[in-house]
Structure 1
Amino acid sequence: MKIYHTSKLPGRTVVTIDGQEFLWFTGTDYLGMGHNEDLRRYVNSATETFGNHYGSSRNNSLRLDIYDETESHLADYLQNEAAIIVSSGMWAGQLVMKEIENIVQQQPTIARIFYHYAPGVHPALWGHVFQRNEGEWSEWASQTVRKINATDSDVAHILCMDAVGSPMVKAFDFTLLNGVQKPANLWLIIDESHSLGVTGSSGNGVAEQIDPKLLTKTIFVSSLNKALGIPAGAIWGSKTVVETVRKSPWFAGASPPAPAYAYALKMLLEQNKYAAARVVLMDNIAYFNAKMEGNALFETVSDYPVFCSTNAALFDHLLQNGIMASCFPYPSPADAPVTRIAISSLHQKEDLDRLAEVCKRFNA
């Protein structure tokens, strides 16, 4: 696999260090925040007040109010009780995995805990007795429900899963989990890194797809550095869960994200900048789908900006026609590479026309 290098952040296009220019159709900057002028302006202005970073614990005796203010706005955006931000999405997941048994054991009737890991779950949610599952998600979900229903009432079950499949994009049918007979003993941990800002009625992710009886014990984690463009991570759910995380030594001992970016996140939420970028993204997705109607080249899901293929030759074909997608093994070097195309809010209609034209030629 050839590696390409660039000295400048890609946007609509990317220029490699040897001078080649390509249309850039990959990455995870779905809302185009990498080049968003509002985000740049908010960060630049905030450094005057908050400095370049915060060299302290969030649980110190002196605390910056901007973190709490931002978390309140984020919880409102997510339509959830509470949220807390940390340094990265990976740490958000691992922090929850380190604290989940303390959270579960607040229920005094629980004597044992079983873990269930969905196929393809991101490494952020790899925890106790993790084993990779290569099966189909729907089959895993149905089998897991049967296992849960066959266990005693003093057993808690922790299900770890992604909100949407990555790198090979897949949608998951969360209604399959509704058959659990003892929902009080079930905890869901869902990684929203590839759905936050994109899916849901307002970009707030997959919460509205979860049965209300399961939602009270669902913990969401996410990178904020994909669609939302903020170098940080987040955890959200019930106030009890968030407060347990806040008191954790794993939270107290970890450096927080830069407060200037916390301020920028607050302002982008307040001013509905993400909503505006999402409108453009949805229009771009619909436009490209209309151009590719009837073409079975890709694995994709409805109203989602990622289009995948296991055919590595597609990546080379795109490159030869001035388009750079991505194709590499993920998450481990032993995994099969996936050719992955991602549309963003930065793309223009002529970019999408060119992408559709080149893709159709490959599939002719």
Structure 2
Amino acid sequence: MGTAFSAINQPFGNKIIVDGTSYLYFGGTAYLGIPKNPDFIQLYVEGINKFGLNNGTSRSNNIQLGIYDEAENVAAARYGAEAALITSSGYLAAQLTVKALPNLGEVSYAPATHPSLWLNTSPVAPDSFTIWKAETIERINASTAENWVLISNSMNNLMPEIYDFTFLNQIDATKKLIVIVDDSHGIGVNNGGLSAYSSLPDRPNTEYVVVASMAKALGVDAGIILGSKKIIEQLKKSPAFVGASPPAAAGLYAFINAGEIYQTAWQKLQENIDLLVDNLSSTWKYELGFPAFLIDDPQIDRHFFKDQILISSFPYPSPTSAPINRIVLSSWHEKADIEKLINSISA
């Protein structure tokens, strides 16, 4: 591919035009197609007209926009948490959390945790979530330490694999746990379009804190933290929260009023997933309900390119590694788009 593909000058959507040629696009993280959803855009424009373009004032300022508290209350109710905190980015939400909470216990990192969750350097962890689960159960149950902080993604979106946290029920119930989960790729998509928070097991002596970017499925340039009122109040006293500017109010206005838009987009995404799954062979790896599809074929992106189809393809985990080749579906894809993709897969 030429340099034109690394300098796109149009919104991403189901189609991208490069050098006069139209390509179907099956990549990115806009799982619900929100960046091109006309109803959501209308809400965003309403928000701009109501609140302006941005707000560079700290949330600790004596003069405040009320929409930030409103958006946090809506988010907490929507995703099943006692309270929520909204920041200007998912990275800030994660860093704010891990800088404030790990001093509350012994820390254990799951594999492939996002760099935004790192305290300093890359943490040492086993290669697989399954191994980490077993080691964590054994380590905590055998330890005299009572307080633990577990840090993990909710899923590996590249492979893809949605993690099962019911293993926490095998940990000694007297141990006190804080479990920090990054749900950036799951929020709005997994668990019926909700978040990982509502799916975590009800366990004694356990506090859950879910952090996420809202810029993926939810289409808002912001970050979110879900947790108990006690934890959220503690995080709102941290220097990072007090000193940082909040996200644009217009995006949160759209988020607050987009409940039906998200639900309709989620339903469309599930229909798109079902159509593709019904026509895939066992060589593809995927998780039911999640719109990423992996195949161990380093040349397949070139095959699709001949049919004017672009997929997600990049070397991982290092620049010299073989490429990770994935199809990523979105709610902005139409039935005809997926049928063309299926025909190309079968060719």
What TM-score range do you get, normalising by the shorter chain? over 0.9
**Measured at CA, do residues 325 and 214 of structure 1 come closer, stay the same or move farther in structure 2, by a change above 3 Å?**
farther
Matching of residue 164 in structure 1 with residue 150 in structure 2: no
Q: Distance in 2 between matches of 1:157 and 1:63?
A: 36
Match 1:260 to one of 246, 250, 259: 250
Amino acid corresponding to residue 338 of structure 1 in structure 2: I
Q: How much does 1:183 deviate?
A: 5.5
Q: Distance in 2 between matches of 1:47 and 1:194?
A: 27
Cross-structure match for 2:283:
297
Cross-structure match for 2:21:
20
Q: How much does 1:286 deviate?
A: 0.8
Residues 167 and 330, structure 1, Cα contact 8 Å, conserved in 2: no
**Measured at CA, do residues 215 and 130 of structure 1 come closer, stay the same or move farther in structure 2, by a change above 3 Å?**
farther
Cross-structure match for 1:117:
109
CA-to-aligned-CA distance 1:36-58 (integer Å, 9 cap, x gap): 11221112122222111101101
Q: How much does 1:171 deviate?
A: 2.1
Q: Distance in 1 between matches of 2:188 and 2:168?
A: 24
Matching of residue 251 in structure 1 with residue 241 in structure 2: yes
Residues 28 and 328, structure 2, Cα contact 8 Å, conserved in 1: yes
Cross-structure match for 2:346:
360
**Measured at CA, do residues 70 and 129 of structure 1 come closer, stay the same or move farther in structure 2, by a change above 3 Å?**
same
Q: How much does 1:334 deviate?
A: 5.6
Q: How much does 1:30 deviate?
A: 0.7
2:48 aligned counterpart, secondary structure = helix
Percent identity, aligned pairs only?
A: 34
Please tell me the root mean square deviation across aligned C-alpha atoms, in Å.
1.9
Q: How much does 1:315 deviate?
A: 1.2
Q: Distance in 2 between matches of 1:239 and 1:128?
A: 27
**Measured at CA, do residues 215 and 300 of structure 1 come closer, stay the same or move farther in structure 2, by a change above 3 Å?**
farther
Q: How much does 1:136 deviate?
A: 1.5
* Structure 1, unpaired ranges of 5+: 105-112
Cross-structure match for 2:71:
70
Q: Distance in 1 between matches of 2:131 and 2:344?
A: 36
2:10 aligned counterpart, secondary structure = coil
Q: Distance in 2 between matches of 1:133 and 1:78?
A: 29
Residues 175 and 205, structure 2, Cα contact 8 Å, conserved in 1: no
Matching of residue 200 in structure 1 with residue 191 in structure 2: yes
Cross-structure match for 2:330:
344
Residues 149 and 182, structure 1, Cα contact 8 Å, conserved in 2: no
1:324 aligned counterpart, secondary structure = strand
Q: Distance in 2 between matches of 1:165 and 1:231?
A: 22
**Measured at CA, do residues 289 and 93 of structure 1 come closer, stay the same or move farther in structure 2, by a change above 3 Å?**
same
CA-to-aligned-CA distance 1:19-72 (integer Å, 9 cap, x gap): 232101010111110111122111212222211110110111111100001111
Count of residues in correspondence between the two structures: 345
Q: How much does 1:336 deviate?
A: 4.6
Match 2:270 to one of 273, 279, 282: 282
Residues 142 and 177, structure 1, Cα contact 8 Å, conserved in 2: no
1:338 aligned counterpart, secondary structure = strand
CA-to-aligned-CA distance 1:132-175 (integer Å, 9 cap, x gap): 43512111111111001111144x22111111112221122212
Q: How much does 1:311 deviate?
A: 2.3
Q: Distance in 1 between matches of 2:222 and 2:263?
A: 20
**Measured at CA, do residues 219 and 183 of structure 1 come closer, stay the same or move farther in structure 2, by a change above 3 Å?**
farther
Q: Tell me which moved more, 126-135 or 82-91.
A: 126-135
Q: How much does 1:181 deviate?
A: 0.3
Q: Distance in 1 between matches of 2:11 and 2:316?
A: 22
**Measured at CA, do residues 115 and 337 of structure 1 come closer, stay the same or move farther in structure 2, by a change above 3 Å?**
farther
Cross-structure match for 2:95:
94
Cross-structure match for 1:327:
313
CA-to-aligned-CA distance 1:65-109 (integer Å, 9 cap, x gap): 00001111111110110111101111111110111136x3xxxxx
Q: How much does 1:245 deviate?
A: 1.0
Cross-structure match for 2:294:
308
Q: Distance in 2 between matches of 1:12 and 1:228?
A: 17
Q: How much does 1:184 deviate?
A: 4.3
Cross-structure match for 1:144:
136
1:159 aligned counterpart, secondary structure = strand
Normalising by structure 1, what TM-score? 0.90
Cross-structure match for 2:9:
7
Cross-structure match for 1:108:
none
Normalising by structure 2, what TM-score? 0.94
Matching of residue 228 in structure 1 with residue 218 in structure 2: yes
2:151 aligned counterpart, secondary structure = strand
Q: Distance in 2 between matches of 1:211 and 1:80?
A: 13
**Measured at CA, do residues 360 and 6 of structure 1 come closer, stay the same or move farther in structure 2, by a change above 3 Å?**
same
**Measured at CA, do residues 247 and 336 of structure 1 come closer, stay the same or move farther in structure 2, by a change above 3 Å?**
farther
The answer to which structure has the higher strand fraction is 2
* Structure 2, unpaired ranges of 5+: none
Residues 192 and 220, structure 1, Cα contact 8 Å, conserved in 2: yes
Q: How much does 1:216 deviate?
A: 4.6
